[in-house]
Every structure is written in structure tokens, then in C-alpha cells.
């Protein structure tokens, strides 16, 4: 009876973790080369660029909002970094290249945060749903990326710039470290700070939060700002990986990111969700894609499977919730 | 129209909800051709009785007889088919649709066109118009319902009910949103219906209406049927007696001395259409009640004092500081707390745990440099649970699982953690059981002893008499009187709230 109870609890609260472990065990036996350190680190590297954004998106969705512009923001940020580097290392002023790159990255991140604040302002001051503003930004930022690059990749970066998106530190891919660091920071922010608590309250019941003296507009704006900042960071990482500012990168990322968040158990209704769940969701998708590639499953099938996973994961979450309330 | 009068009878109706009996052995008969007023306080069981008759809920035991025959109705739809219609206080019209569509919603007449059935719009408008004409109501059936005034919407609502050809019509506080002349129109409409043999059940809080409209008065109290009297016997004191029973001021503690140290003054506080030129003073540790009917502006006043809604003019002077309430955060930081009327939707975040809700208003105080520590939170939560006697199995489980009384204690606890100096309580005892009510009183008295001033809005007048040092009477957005519990009887307080300005 006791083990039965324990199993049931595990099933209820950690079903996704269980499935992930089972999946890894199955792949370890069926896909040759899956269970090697190189491959696993590769999985981590592959998910890190989208994963960084997914943690921010988790906060946004918990706060009852959405950000559809993250994919375009990644492309725009990569292009902006390249554009600024080009201008600052010769065309406008001639800064030394490392300094020009550093300044460009900082400006890009600041611009990212500002874009998020803009979405928040539209939401809280003018009641424009974040769905609409970020849908507009999705197109607008994509166009802006094309504008500053004239539609062609900009390549002002020196060889060492590749380190951010492609390098290794103590044997671990550098982007994976950024990914893990982001996870750690947001995990602490959401679970151990008054700000994180406010995010849950605002998403769970904005009016009750307001009547408790929580500054709802500020919370929403900051959350949207942080997520846009993380999208910009991801854009910098991508530009480093591909060594250029390319306006056509990261198309459709917003949906992959939202999918990972939802698989991780975050409710689109707001108020419910965990950064840890998103971690699992991100890794889950990464492992599935990696496994299917190793098993030579066609890319078309991979898309179909991914779609099915999203649906099944949400269904499982809902069933769990039903179980818990009865 | 001359159909034989209908009748409605209940035999030993009983309805239990977890932890409470909402209706206990109620046997009553309502005959057609008469208008029956149903009165009782909040929680007396009126709405439960209505729900059972309209089959919105099923009784735990007991029988319903219509026209002398027992009926087994399984759904609200069955009830509609049987001609049982309830018109609720909140209107249920679809504002974008026309009056005609609203009246015939779900039963729009159809015709065949090229072998398909399509809506016969001519028939829709003609039929709707006929129904309105038969009620002697003149409203354009093509107008979107949302463009009508409340009184006209009410008429449409009744026309909609009439289109079902009702044998039993229940109206839940239909006049609460109506002006005097509109009320008169409604009454003449109801008398027309009554003359057709329809059983009319009329729920109201406006006791002065009874003489005008009702033929009999039936009262419920604490889920029990008190009795039915003829309107000729319904004197104000008989009605109060039926509604409240023998009231004794049982629990008021003796050490609740009237405070003398001034604390706060509200000056010419106004919000257009809701409350006007409100002035009063409050002492440190004083418990001030605000008595008034629904729509008297009491809730709106309280919300504006907290900055939850904006006031147009006026100010608060708190210990010499002039304050214009602008938003809740500002008022909270000044030491003001507010427990809203609707604790489920506004007081608590239902998805979140008891612990999180208890800490929600005082995050800044609890956190050090923005970081929360489990130990400190745990300690605060334990103190709240102990001091307020909150019955909770797991403080980390969603607060939604707690009973109404315990949820209310969580709301109060949330605010006590902010260390407030003024607590605004809107209907603090609504929907909670007797024991929890007593505990709420104790909590309020304790706050008073600690020097926290309280303003309590409540429809439960006898509770105000019990709890407060002083009571303001509010009518149509104005404070019209200022009384002390020892100097006024429940009956007089009730009459003072009811009085219509001529």
C-alpha cells in the first residue's frame, strides 16, 4: 500500500519527470550514441537559445500575459548587435572591436528590455492585450531586422566572437551555461522573492492583487521587459553561433518556446506554473528531437510528434489537476 | 384570459450544503392569483428556496407540488417547460441582441426556405411585439437590449418570462435598480399577471413596498419557515419580528469603551452618482458601522476611501495629514486595510495557497531586500492560524478549499500582517456560519482594543448594533444620521435605512 501511495504521488506531481526519465532510458537502448556525454551536452546546447527565453515566457504566462514577438526579437537583436558593431568599429566611430562588440551587446539588451516595457505600457496604460501588441511587434521587429541589414546577413564579427554561442567552458557549452544560469536566477526570482510572489498573484487574480496593494502595472511591465531582454540575449547568442546578424533566423520560435512552457505545466489562464516545469519541458522537447534525429526519423514526422506531445502534455496536466481536486 | 389559478406547494423541503442546512423542513403553499412576498435576511434561505423551485438545485429531501400534483423536474429546462420562470436580480439579457431576439432567445420562430430551416425574422419581431403589447409595455423590439434603461430591460426580462407562458413566476428583488415611477409600472404589470392566475413569488428587501404589491408575506429565518401572514396583518414591527426573531445583544463585551482620541476625518467626500458630500470623524480604536440598503453607496464609499475606485472630490485627514486616496498601494502604505465584499473574487487569489494569501499584502514587510525566507513566512502564517483560529489542514494548499468563514479570516489575517491602523470591512460576515460570525466579532473587538479603528459596512443591521460603537445611516449616497447602538432599536434602525426620500 505504501509504495503504491508513493507511486501515485509521484505520478500526480511529477509525471513529466517520470516520462522524461523513461524516454531517456528507452533512447539509451534504441538510439546508438544517445547516452554519450557529447550527445547529452549537445542536447543542452541545442535547447539553450530557446530555453533562455522559455524561462521568461513562463513568468509572462504566469502573469496572465503572452509574448508572441520573441522569435522576431531574437532575429532583430542579432541583427542589431551586428549592425551596431559595424557602425561602432569604423563607420560612425572607430572603437576597438572588442569594445564595440561589448557596447553593441549592452545596447541590444537595453533595447530588448525597452521593447518589453513598451508592451507592458500598452497593456497597462491603454488596455491593449499583450497578444495584440506582441503580434504587431512580431511583424514589426522582423521588418526592422530586414531594414537595418538590408535583407542580407551582416558579418562584422571576429573569430573569437563565436565563443558566446559556440564555445566551451570547462567542457560545457558556453550557451548551456548561460541557459543554466538564467534558470537559476529566475528560479530564485520566482520562488524566493516578493516580486515572484506578486507575479503569481497578478496572474491568479489581478483585482485581488491590486486590492492587496500590489502594483499590477509595474509587475506586468517588468515581467514583459525581462522576457524581451532574454529574447535579446538569445539573439546575441544566436548571432555568435552563426557569426552574423541574419534577419531570417528564429522564425517561429515563439511557438516552440510557448510549447515548452505549456508542456512544463504552466497554465495559459495565468497564476499557475513553475520555472522548473519549463526546464523539464525544454529538455523534454530537446531529447525527443535529438532522439528522433538519431533514429533517422524524418523531419516531417518530428513536427507531427512534437504537435502530439504538446497536446498530450496539456491533457496530462489537466487530468492531474482534476485528480488533485477530487 | 381566464385560466384556472395555478398553485405551488412545498412539503418538508430540506437542503443541506456541506456544513450547513440552508433549508429545513419548509412546507408552504403559494396560490395563484395572488402576489406572495418572500422576505428574510441574507442567508435565511430565500435564494435556496427559489433555486429549488426553479430546479437550479435539487433538495436533499422533500416534495414540490404544482397545481396539486407532485412533479419530478430534473433540470432548469424541465422547469421552463413546466412554466416555472425565475427572473433574477442580475439581468440576463444579451446586450448586443435586439429586444425581440432576447425575448425569444433559443426559441426563435423558423420557416422553410429552399428546403432549409431559417429564422423567420418577421415572425420574431411580430411575436415579440405582441408579447410586449399584451403587457402594455411600449419598447421598440428592434432596439439592441443594451441600449435600454434598466427599467425597460427589466420589462423585457419579464416579457421573456411571459413568452414561456408561465404558471409560476419568481422575481428576485426586481425593484432594487428601479426608480419610483418605474416601480409603479412594474407593479401594475405584476397585478395584470396575477389576475391571470399566475403564482407570483416576490422577493424583496424593500419592506415599504409590501403594502403596495403583496397579498401575503412569508418569512424565512435561518432556513426555517417562520410563517405566512396576510398583508393586512403585516405591520412594520410584525415584519421585523418575523425577519429577525427575538434579538438580544448577547455577545457585546463590556470593556469596549467608547474611544476618545481623534484619528481620522473624512471631508466632503463625493463620487458622482454614488455618494455625495460625505463627512464624518473617526476615533482611534473606534468601530464605526455604516448601515444602508444595497445601492445606498456604502460599498462605493468604502472602496473610494481605500483608493480602490477614484473619488471626485474630498479628502481624508489622518492624524493631521491630508490625503487624497488614489490607489490601494498608497493607502496600504499609510496603514489602511480593506476586506472587500466579494472575498472570493477580490479578497483572495483562489489559486494560491493559504500561506501565500496571508502574506500577500505585506510582502515588503516580510521580505528582507526583496527575498522571502520560508522560516519567517511560516512563523507569520502560524501566528495568523493561531490568533484567528483558522481551520486549515495544509497552509500550502490552495485557499479555495477553505470554508467561507475561514477564507474571511485569511483575508483579515492578510491585512493584520500589514500592521494597519484603519481597517475597512465590507460585509465581513456575509455567507459565513454563526460560529465564524462570532469569531469575526471577536477579531474586530480585538482590533479595537489594540487601537485599530474599523469601519464596518453590513446589511446585517442587528450585527452592526452588536459590533459597533457608532453607526452612520446612509441613504441614496448621503449620510443621513449618526446613531449609537444603545439608543436605537433594530426596528428604528431598519426604518431609518428604508425611508424613501419623498
Q: What is the pLDDT of residues B435-467, one digit of tens each?
A: 788 889 999 999 999 999 999 998 888 889 989
- Among B244, B275, B308, the domain-final residue is B244
What are B471's three cell numbers?
453607526
Measured between CB atoms, does B306 come within 8 Å of chain A? Answer: yes
Residue B242: band (very low, low, confident or very high) from pLDDT cuts 50, 70, 90? confident
Judge: A210–B364 Cβ closer than 8 Å, yes or no: no
CA distance B176 to A280: 54
CA distance A322 to B497: 47
B372 & B240 share domain:
no
CATH class of this structure's domain A31-325: mainly alpha
Q: Report chain A residues whose CB lies below 8 A from the CB of B367.
A: 193-194
How many Å separate Cα A203 from the centre of its chain?
19
For the CA atoms of B128, B133, B138, B140, the dihedral, rounded to the nearest 10 degrees, stands at 20
User: Average pLDDT for residues B240-260, to the nearest whole number?
Assistant: 70
Is the confidence at residue B151, as pLDDT, over 80?
Answer: no
B230 & B350 share domain:
no
The ipTM assigned to this model is 0.88
Residues B98, B144 contacting (CB under 8 angstroms): yes
Of A207, A213, A271, the CB nearest to B329: A213
Q: Which residue of B has its CA nearest to A201?
A: B349
Residues B422, B259 contacting (CB under 8 angstroms): no
Q: Report chain B residues whose CB lies below 8 A from the CB of A215.
A: 329
User: Average pLDDT for residues B247-268, to the nearest whole number?
Assistant: 76
Is the confidence at residue B502, as pLDDT, over 50?
Answer: no
B53 & B165 share domain:
yes
How many Å separate Cα B355 from the centre of its chain?
29
CA distance A215 to A255: 30
Tell me what pLDDT residue A223 has.
98
Q: Which of A195, A202, A208 to mutate to test the interface with B (most CBs of B within 10 A)?
A: A208
What phi and psi values does residue B327 have, to the nearest 5 degrees?
Answer: -150, 160
Structural domain total, chain B: 2
Tell me what pLDDT residue A112 has.
97
Tell me what pLDDT residue A324 has.
52
DSSP string, A214-272: --HHHHHHHHHHHHHHHHHHHHHHHHHHHTSB-TTTTTTHHHHHHHHHHHTT--TTSS-
Lowest-confidence segment of A156-160, B57-61, B190-194, B496-500 by average pLDDT: B496-500
Q: Which residue of A has its CA nearest to B418?
A: A212
How many Å separate Cα A312 from the centre of its chain?
21
Taking residue A41's Cβ as centre, other Cβ atoms within 10 Å add up to 15
Indicate which CATH number applies to the domain containing B134. Answer: 3.40.50.300
Q: Which pTM does this prediction carry?
A: 0.81
What phi and psi values does residue B129 have, to the nearest 5 degrees?
Answer: -65, -40
Residue B179: band (very low, low, confident or very high) from pLDDT cuts 50, 70, 90? low
What are A248's three cell numbers?
531570417
DSSP string, B110-146: EEEETTEEEE-HHHHHHHHHHHHHHTT----TTSBGG
Grid coordinates 459565513 are at which residue? B432
Tell me what pLDDT residue A326 has.
40
Which H or E element spans position B486? none
Judge: B352–A194 Cβ closer than 8 Å, yes or no: no
Q: Which long-range contacts (CB under 8 A, 24 or more apart) does B273-281 make?
A: B273/B477, B274/B300, B274/B301, B274/B304, B274/B477, B275/B300, B275/B301, B275/B304, B275/B474, B275/B477, B275/B478, B276/B477, B276/B478, B277/B314, B277/B478, B278/B314, B278/B478, B278/B479, B279/B479, B280/B472, B280/B479, B280/B482
pLDDT tens string A291-301: 999 999 998 99
Tell me what pLDDT residue A309 has.
87
pLDDT tens string B68-94: 888 888 888 888 888 888 887 667 788
Q: Report chain B residues whose CB lies below 8 A from the CB of A209.
A: 349, 360
CA distance A111 to B339: 41
Tell me what pLDDT residue A323 has.
57
Is the confidence at residue B412, as pLDDT, over 50?
Answer: yes
- Among B198, B226, B244, the domain-final residue is B244
B224 & B351 share domain:
no
Residue B244: band (very low, low, confident or very high) from pLDDT cuts 50, 70, 90? confident
Is the confidence at residue B176, as pLDDT, over 70?
Answer: no
User: Average pLDDT for residues B376-398, to the nearest whole number?
Assistant: 91
CA distance A212 to chain B (A): 5
Higher pLDDT pick, A182 / B63? A182
Domain that residue B17 falls in = 7-244
Tell me what pLDDT residue B1 has.
44
Bridge-based pairing of strands B336-339 and B422-426 is: parallel
Q: Which residue of A has its CA nearest to B342?
A: A208
Measured between CB atoms, does B334 come within 8 Å of chain A? Answer: no
Q: Report chain B residues whose CB lies below 8 A from the CB of A211.
A: 306, 308, 328, 338, 340, 346-347
Q: Which range in A3-17, B193-207, B336-350 is most confidently predicted, on average pLDDT? A: B336-350
B238 & B374 share domain:
no
- Which residues are registered as beta bridge partners of B13? B26
Which H or E element spans position A173? strand A172-173
Taking residue A110's Cβ as centre, other Cβ atoms within 10 Å add up to 12
| B120-135 core/surface letters (b: 16 or more CB in 10 A; e: else) | beeebbebbbebbeeb
* % chain B with pLDDT above 70: 94
Judge: A205–B348 Cβ closer than 8 Å, yes or no: yes
B218 & B360 share domain:
no
The reply to whether B196 falls in a domain is: yes
Listed by start position, the domains of chain A span 31-325
Tell me what pLDDT residue A1 has.
45
pLDDT tens string B313-331: 999 999 989 999 999 999 9
B236 & B383 share domain:
no
Which residue numbers in chain A have pLDDT < 50? 1, 325-326
Tell me what pLDDT residue B132 has.
87
Lowest-confidence segment of A157-171, A279-293, B200-214, B384-398 by average pLDDT: B200-214
Burial class (CB in 10 A: 0-12, 13-18, 19+), B481: middle
B203 & B349 share domain:
no
Q: Which of B360, B396, B423, B424 to mutate to test the interface with A (most CBs of A within 10 A)?
A: B360
Average pLDDT, chain B: 87
Judge: A211–B366 Cβ closer than 8 Å, yes or no: no
CA distance B92 to B89: 9
Q: Which residue of B has its CA nearest to A208?
A: B346
Amino acid at each position: 500500500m505504501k509504495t503504491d501511495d508513493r507511486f501515485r504521488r509521484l505520478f500526480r506531481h511529477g509525471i513529466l519527470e517520470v516520462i522524461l526519465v523513461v524516454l531517456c532510458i528507452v533512447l539509451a537502448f534504441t538510439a546508438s550514441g544517445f547516452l554519450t556525454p557529447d550527445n547529452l551536452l549537445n542536447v543542452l546546447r541545442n535547447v539553450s537559445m530557446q530555453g533562455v527565453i522559455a524561462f521568461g515566457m513562463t513568468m509572462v504566462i504566469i502573469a496572465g500575459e503572452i509574448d508572441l514577438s520573441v522569435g522576431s526579437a531574437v532575429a532583430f537583436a542579432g541583427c542589431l548587435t551586428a549592425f551596431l558593431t559595424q557602425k561602432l568599429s569604423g563607420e560612425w566611430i572607430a572603437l576597438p572591436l572588442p569594445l564595440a562588440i561589448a557596447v553593441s551587446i549592452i545596447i541590444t539588451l537595453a533595447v530588448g528590455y525597452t521593447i518589453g516595457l513598451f508592451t507592458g505600457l500598452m497593456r497597462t496604460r491603454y488596455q491593449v492585450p499583450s497578444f495584440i501588441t506582441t503580434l504587431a511587434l512580431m511583424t514589426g521587429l522582423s521588418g526592422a531586422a530586414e531594414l537595418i541589414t538590408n535583407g542580407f546577413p551582416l558579418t562584422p564579427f571576429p573569430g573569437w566572437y563565436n565563443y558566446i554561442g559556440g564555445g566551451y567552458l570547462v567542457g560545457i557549452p558556453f550557451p548551456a551555461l548561460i541557459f543554466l544560469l538564467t534558470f537559476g536566477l529566475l528560479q530564485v526570482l520566482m520562488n524566493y522573492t516578493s516580486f515572484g510572489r506578486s507575479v503569481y498573484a497578478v496572474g491568479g487574480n489581478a483585482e485581488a492583487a491590486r486590492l492587496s496593494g500590489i502594483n499590477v502595472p509595474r509587475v506586468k511591465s517588468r515581467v514583459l521587459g525581462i522576457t524581451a531582454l532574454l529574447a535579446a540575449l538569445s539573439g546575441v547568442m544566436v548571432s555568435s553561433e552563426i557569426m552574423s546578424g541574419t534577419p531570417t533566423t528564429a522564425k517561429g520560435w515563439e511557438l516552440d518556446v510557448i510549447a515548452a512552457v505549456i508542456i512544463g505545466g504552466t497554465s495559459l489562464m495565468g497564476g499557475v506554473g513553475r520555472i522548473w516545469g519549463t526546464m523539464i519541458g525544454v529538455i523534454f522537447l530537446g531529447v525527443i528531437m535529438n532522439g528522433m534525429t538519431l533514429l533517422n526519423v524524418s523531419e516531417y514526422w518530428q513536427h507531427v510528434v512534437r504537435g502530439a506531445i504538446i497536446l498530450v502534455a496539456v491533457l496530462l496536466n489537466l487530468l492531474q489537476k482534476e485528480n488533485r481536486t477530487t | 384570459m381566464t385560466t384556472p389559478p395555478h398553485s405551488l406547494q412545498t412539503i418538508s423541503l430540506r437542503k443541506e450544503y456541506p456544513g450547513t442546512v440552508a433549508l429545513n423542513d419548509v412546507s408552504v403553499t403559494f396560490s395563484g392569483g395572488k402576489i406572495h412576498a418572500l422576505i428574510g435576511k441574507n442567508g435565511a434561505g430565500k435564494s435556496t428556496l427559489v433555486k429549488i423551485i426553479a430546479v437550479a438545485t435539487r433538495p436533499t429531501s422533500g416534495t414540490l407540488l404544482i397545481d396539486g400534483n407532485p412533479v419530478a423536474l430534473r433540470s432548469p429546462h424541465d422547469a421552463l417547460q413546466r412554466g416555472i420562470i425565475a427572473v433574477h436580480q442580475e439581468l440576463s439579457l444579451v446586450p448586443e441582441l435586439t429586444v425581440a431576439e432576447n425575448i425569444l432567445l433559443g426559441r426563435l420562430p423558423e420557416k422553410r426556405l429552399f428546403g432549409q430551416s431559417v429564422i423567420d425574422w418577421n415572425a420574431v419581431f411580430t411575436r415579440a411585439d405582441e408579447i410586449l403589447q399584451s403587457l402594455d409595455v411600449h419598447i421598440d423590439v428592434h432596439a439592441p437590449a443594451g441600449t435600454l434603461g434598466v427599467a425597460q430591460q427589466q420589462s423585457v426580462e419579464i416579457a421573456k418570462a411571459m413568452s414561456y407562458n408561465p404558471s409560476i413566476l419568481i422575481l428576485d428583488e426586481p425593484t432594487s435598480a428601479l426608480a419610483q415611477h418605474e416601480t409603479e409600472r412594474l407593479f401594475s404589470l405584476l397585478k395584470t399577471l396575477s389576475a391571470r392566475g399566475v403564482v407570483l413569488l416576490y422577493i424583496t428587501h424593500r419592506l415599504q413596498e409590501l403594502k403596495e404589491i403583496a397579498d401575503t408575506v412569508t418569512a424565512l429565518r435561518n432556513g426555517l419557515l417562520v410563517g405566512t401572514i396576510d398583508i393586512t396583518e403585516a405591520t412594520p414591527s410584525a415584519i421585523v419580528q418575523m425577519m429577525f426573531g427575538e434579538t438580544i445583544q448577547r455577545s457585546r463585551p463590556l470593556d469596549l469603551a467608547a474611544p476618545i482620541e481623534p484619528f481620522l476625518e473624512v471631508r466632503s467626500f463625493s463620487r458622482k452618482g454614488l455618494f455625495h458630500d460625505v463627512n464624518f470623524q473617526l476615533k482611534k480604536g473606534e468601530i464605526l458601522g455604516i448601515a444602508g440598503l444595497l445601492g445606498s453607496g456604502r460599498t462605493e464609499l468604502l472602496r473610494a476611501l481605500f483608493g480602490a475606485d477614484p473619488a471626485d472630490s474630498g479628502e481624508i485627514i489622518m492624524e493631521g495629514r491630508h490625503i487624497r486616496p488614489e490607489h490601494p498601494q498608497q493607502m496600504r502604505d499609510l496603514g489602511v486595510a480593506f476586506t472587500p465584499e466579494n472575498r472570493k473574487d477580490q479578497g483572495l487569489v483562489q489559486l494560491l495557497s493559504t500561506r501565500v494569501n496571508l502574506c500577500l499584502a505585506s510582502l515588503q514587510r516580510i521580505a528582507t531586500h526583496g527575498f522571502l525566507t520560508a522560516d519567517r513566512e511560516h512563523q507569520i502564517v502560524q501566528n495568523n492560524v493561531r490568533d484567528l483560529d483558522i481551520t486549515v489542514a495544509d497552509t500550502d494548499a490552495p485557499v479555495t478549499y477553505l470554508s467561507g468563514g475561514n477564507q474571511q479570516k485569511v483575508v483579515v489575517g492578510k491585512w493584520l500582517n500589514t500592521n494597519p491602523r484603519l481597517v475597512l470591512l465590507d460585509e465581513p460576515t456575509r455567507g459565513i456560519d454563526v460560529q465564524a460570525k462570532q469569531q469575526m466579532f471577536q477579531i474586530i473587538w480585538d482590533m479595537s482594543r489594540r487601537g485599530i479603528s474599523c469601519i464596518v459596512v453590513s446589511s446585517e443591521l442587528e450585527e452592526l448594533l452588536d459590533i459597533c460603537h457608532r453607526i452612520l445611516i446612509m441613504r441614496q449616497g448621503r449620510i443621513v444620521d449618526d446613531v449609537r447602538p444603545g439608543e436605537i432599536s433594530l426596528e428604528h434602525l431598519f426604518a431609518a435605512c428604508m425611508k424613501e426620500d419623498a
